Structure 1
């Protein structure tokens, strides 16, 4: 199997951001977005293809967790925070 491409990593990054923006809770949404950006930024200089592949697999698993949490979050509605009403 060929090593992971930068296109694959960028696509995964975009998918994770897109899925995180679906959180109905402001706090979860901002936390997830910040965490994703920070994690990708921390690992941007990794060059070992095996390590990159492990990170991709971990990110794909986390994307599925985000999707499930978004679904659960939509089952329980809450009032919007003051910051969201602006």
Structure 2
């Protein structure tokens, strides 16, 4: 059974992977989906349901890893809505 520390670690890993998308739309969509999924399932108390959710999260982490790797192979122009990095 996955404990709360493992679930929190999975959440952090998923968000870290989502931030690695170069494309703004993919990045924001992934962050929003991760946040919403964990928010919707924070009240789970059944150990079987928690394990199922955790295992889906592990599968999603592997998927995000593959997709972010592919995303980094191709460059996109920055969109107008993306903040520009300040040069000091």
Please indicate the TM-score interval, normalised by the length of the shorter structure.
over 0.9
The offset of 1:62, in angstroms, is 0.4
Runs (5+) with no aligned partner, structure 2: none
Question: In 1, distance between residues paired with 2:23 and 2:82?
Answer: 10
Residue of structure 2 in register with 1:47 after alignment: 45
Please give the TM-score of this superposition, normalised by the length of structure 2. 0.91
Question: In 1, distance between residues paired with 2:76 and 2:6?
Answer: 36
Instruction: Kindly provide the CA deviation profile for residues 23-49 of structure 1, in whole angstroms up to 9, marking residues without a partner as x.
Output: 000000000000000000000001011
Mapping of residues 1-86 of structure 1, within 5 Å = 3-86=1-84
Higher share in helix: 1
1:55–1:84 Cα change, 3 Å: same
Runs (5+) with no aligned partner, structure 1: none
1:85–1:43 Cα change, 3 Å: closer
1:44–1:73 Cα change, 3 Å: same
The offset of 1:85, in angstroms, is 4.2
- Alignment coverage as a number of residue pairs: 84
Structure 1 moving runs of 4+ over 4 Å: none
